[in-house]
Amino acid sequence: MKILQTTKLRPQLQYPYYCCEFETASFTDADFAAHQIIFPTQLNKAVDKRKAEYLAGRVCAKHVLAALKIYNFELISAADRAPIWPNKIVGSITHSQQTAMAMVAHSTDIAGIGIDIEQLMSAKQELELQKQILHPDEFFQFQRLAKQVSHPLTVIFSAKESVFKALYPSVKQFFGFEAAKLIAFNERQLQFKITQTLSEQVPQDTCVTVFYQCNNEQVLTECEFKPLVKNF
C-alpha cells in the first residue's frame, strides 16, 4: 500500500505534524512489515480498511516523532484505545477515507492536543444528526455558523472530536457531545464552553478554542488544551 505525504491539509496550530494519503484498496498485511510498524493483535479480526487506516496513522506518527528526534518508538494503544505516546509527549492521530494525520507536542507546553479529519456529511445527515451532536443551548450559534460554512454540523462534530482528544489526557474518562457547547466563532476558530466538571483540571465553564478549515471534501479541526494555572 502506498503511503505518500500530502500538503492538501495544513494545520493552523504550530506543532510538528505529518499528513499522508493512502490507498486502502491495495492494502495487505505485509504492509505493516514494509513500513516497520508492529501489527497489533487487536486488529487480527479487523477488515482491511481498518487495518489500512491504523497503519497510515502509525506511519504519520512515526514521521512526526522523528521530527522531535524520537526514533523507533513502538506506539501501542492502551486498553481505552488511546495511543501511549513517549514520555513528556502528547499527540493525536486522525484518519478519514484515504487521508491520515498525526500531530505531537511537548507536554511541558500543553496538556493535550486533538486533531480530527472528517468527510463532509450529506445534507440528510446534517439534518438528521443535529440532536445527537448539538447541545440544546447551541442551536442559535449553529444557525449562525450555517450562514458562514456549507456543512456546519460536520464542522461542529469534528471540533467536538478534537476537544475530546485534547481533554482526554486530563480527564481519563469518556464524555459525550453535550459536554461541550459552541459559544462563539469566526472564520478560523470555534470557541466551546465545557458544560460540566470533567476533572479537577477541566472544571465546568472551561473554555477551549478549536481551529477549523474546510475544503471540497473534508473538514480539519485542531484543539490544544492548556489548563488554567491556579494562584494560591
Is 10 annotated to bind a ligand? Reply is: no
Is 172 annotated to bind a ligand? Reply is: no
- Specify the pTM: 0.95
Verify that 91 and 30 share a domain, yes or no.
yes
Is 116 annotated to bind a ligand? Reply is: yes
pLDDT tens for each residue of 5-16:
999 999 999 999
- 60-78: b or e for each residue (b if 16 or more CB lie within 10 Å)? bbbbbbeebebeeeebeee
Verify that 156 and 79 share a domain, yes or no.
no
Verify that 104 and 119 share a domain, yes or no.
no
Verify that 18 and 97 share a domain, yes or no.
yes
What is the C-alpha radius of gyration for the chain, rounded to an integer number of angstroms? 18
C-alpha cell belonging to residue 4? 505518500
Is 161 annotated to bind a ligand? Reply is: yes
Is 63 annotated to bind a ligand? Reply is: no
Is 29 annotated to bind a ligand? Reply is: no
Verify that 35 and 66 share a domain, yes or no.
yes
- CATH code of 97's domain: 3.90.470.20
The whole domain housing 52 covers 3-109
What is the distance between the alpha carbons of residues 121 and 125, in angstroms, rounded to a whole number?
Answer: 6
Is 138 annotated to bind a ligand? Reply is: no
C-alpha cell belonging to residue 232? 494560591
User: 94 lies in a domain?
Assistant: yes
User: 93 lies in a domain?
Assistant: yes
Q: Name the domain boundary from 53, 77, 109.
A: 109
**What's the confidence (pLDDT) of residue 230?**
53
User: 232 lies in a domain?
Assistant: no
- Identify the burial level of 222 via C-beta atoms within 10 angstroms of its C-beta, where 0-12 means exposed, 13-18 middle and 19 or more buried: buried
Is 94 annotated to bind a ligand? Reply is: yes
Is 187 annotated to bind a ligand? Reply is: no
- Residue with cell string 442559535: 140
Q: Name the domain boundary from 58, 85, 109.
A: 109
**What's the confidence (pLDDT) of residue 227?**
83
